[in-house]
Chain A
């Protein structure tokens, strides 16, 4: 009976959004587009603030397509979740596989190395906190707080507040590097970094350049806590679920970027015309040279898409695929700089590759310097 209920729950989860869209959804989208107040208008404005702008420059079709995407993705997720839970209950081999998959073998030394490199990279990523916020201060009138800044009514920081934020962030990262209360200070560093990013993103444009680093920073305190417990139990080698979760999240970020292209544009995305259009939008010299070749204009987006969709394979076959996928990732980000002139060579997305690398070579010698580094 219980299993039947579970199956019914997932089937309803798949079908209900589609049914809702067919019966009421389309009319609701048209009503909201035409400015008629509906029960969903407030919700749409809250989660989709760009709607106020985009409805003036894009046709109704765009919003119909977008709303259908939301419905489709809801159904798709219910379907995948249903298949996952069903397979877990039905096949013991699958449940053993997922249980093993959810943790990764690591060592105390590797986490020490990871801790030091991660906080150094976080320092690099946040080195301009004070300069950025101080430079933005005259533009304060354009500040439109997002997310928790809006909910908590947090204003744009003054020079002094920016300096304090900068100081706390640096202090927390240094404490993290030297291993003093690493769990607490890594949490504090993550909070400061997210606050800084929230300020930067509150000028009507979201920058995805630091997204994987933010995710990693949010989960990293759990890795340090697991290491602390392993050290306490005197188990130099241990299985870390939180390190595995960071790896899964990074892989999902790439996968989502790939699947978005297919869901929004279909296989038409892998066409020389689409690729050329993006190149012409950015006008980078190398990009314009590539655009003159039909072969490259077809091959490069195809390779990019295959790379993004296949990134999660690295989790399943690390010995075989880790090096090729991470190297392709470096080339991929290098390519976006050269072809489109966006981002820069020290892309923060690349910083997160450290979570796939065994850094015990750094951690081991550091452990012997216990006078300077708490291990």
Chain B
């Protein structure tokens, strides 16, 4: 048993510290850097909103939580697609995920100062008919 103990101790501690050293998550081992980055109030923050028209022609905001994707995770997803210049692909995929026919899918990027969320600038990134 002491041999097993030593091996498990060494492997576990190495794996626990590996994401810490590499500053990244290596699932199922994590880096605990949440809330560690300095944030300045003057910096603009951004959020993304997806809209579409339903069968009745009403405009609806896409709700990711319907698919068990928390809003925060959806923001990451949208941001990643936007910065990878894959916004059209994202909208196509979202449209395909709907059980009903929908049209006019739009991705909006909203920017605002962190401490003034009402001072918003909204840009339509793209629209998919």
Which A residues lie at the B interface, using CB under 8 A? 47-48, 50, 52-54, 56-57, 66, 69-70, 73-74, 77, 102, 128, 131-132, 135-136, 138-139, 141-142, 146-148, 194, 197-198, 201, 203-208, 211, 214-215, 218-219, 222, 229, 241-242, 245, 248-249, 252-253, 256-257, 260-261, 263-265, 268-269, 273-274, 276-278, 280-281, 283, 342
Contact = CB atoms under 8 A, between A and B. Distances in A.
Given A274-B38, A277-B41, A141 B96 contact: yes
Nearest to B32: A257
Given A53-B83, A69-B23, A136-B69, 8 more contacts: A57-B83, A66-B23, A138-B97, A147-B26, A204-B76, A242-B5, A256-B20, A277-B41
The 4 A-B residue pairs with the shortest CB-CB distance, nearest first, are A277-B39, A257-B32, A135-B68, A147-B27
Nearest to A259: B20
Interface string B1-31: 1000100110011001100111111111011
Contact of B23 (A70, A146, A215): A70
Contacts of B40: 273, 277
Given A147-B27, A249-B12, A203 B69 contact: yes
Nearest to A253: B32
Measured as residues with beta carbon below 8 angstroms from the partner, the interface class of chain B is: 35 or more
A257 B68 contact: no
A116 B69 CA distance: 31
Nearest to B19: A256
Interface in B40-57: 40-41, 45
Contact of B77 (A147, A204, A242, A256): A204
Contacts of B23: 66, 69-70, 73
B122 interface: no
Given A47-B22, A198-B27, A252-B16, A102 B9 contact: yes
A141 B90 CA distance: 9
Contacts of B22: 47-48, 70
Nearest to A131: B68
Contacts of B12: 219, 245, 249
B32 A135 contact: no
Contact of A53 (B16, B36, B84): B84
Given A53-B84, A205-B73, A264 B67 contact: no
Contacts of A57: 79, 83
Contacts of B59: none
A211 B20 contact: no
B38 A208 contact: no
B77 A280 contact: no
Contacts of B45: 281
Contacts of B13: 248
Contacts of B24: 47-48, 50
Given A198-B27, A280-B41, A208 B34 contact: yes
Contacts of B25: 206
Given A245-B8, A265-B38, A260 B26 contact: no
Contacts of A215: 16
Contacts of A201: 27
A342 B33 contact: no
Given A47-B22, A136-B68, A139-B97, A206 B27 contact: yes
A132 B39 CA distance: 33
Contacts of B115: 276-277, 280
Given A135-B68, A261-B36, A278-B35, A205 B28 contact: no
Nearest to B75: A205
B114 interface: yes
Contacts of A128: 68
30 contacts: A48-B22, A50-B80, A56-B83, A66-B23, A70-B22, A73-B21, A102-B5, A131-B68, A132-B68, A135-B67, A141-B93, A197-B27, A198-B27, A198-B28, A203-B69, A204-B76, A205-B73, A211-B32, A241-B5, A245-B8, A257-B32, A261-B35, A261-B36, A264-B33, A264-B36, A265-B37, A269-B38, A276-B41, A277-B39, A277-B115
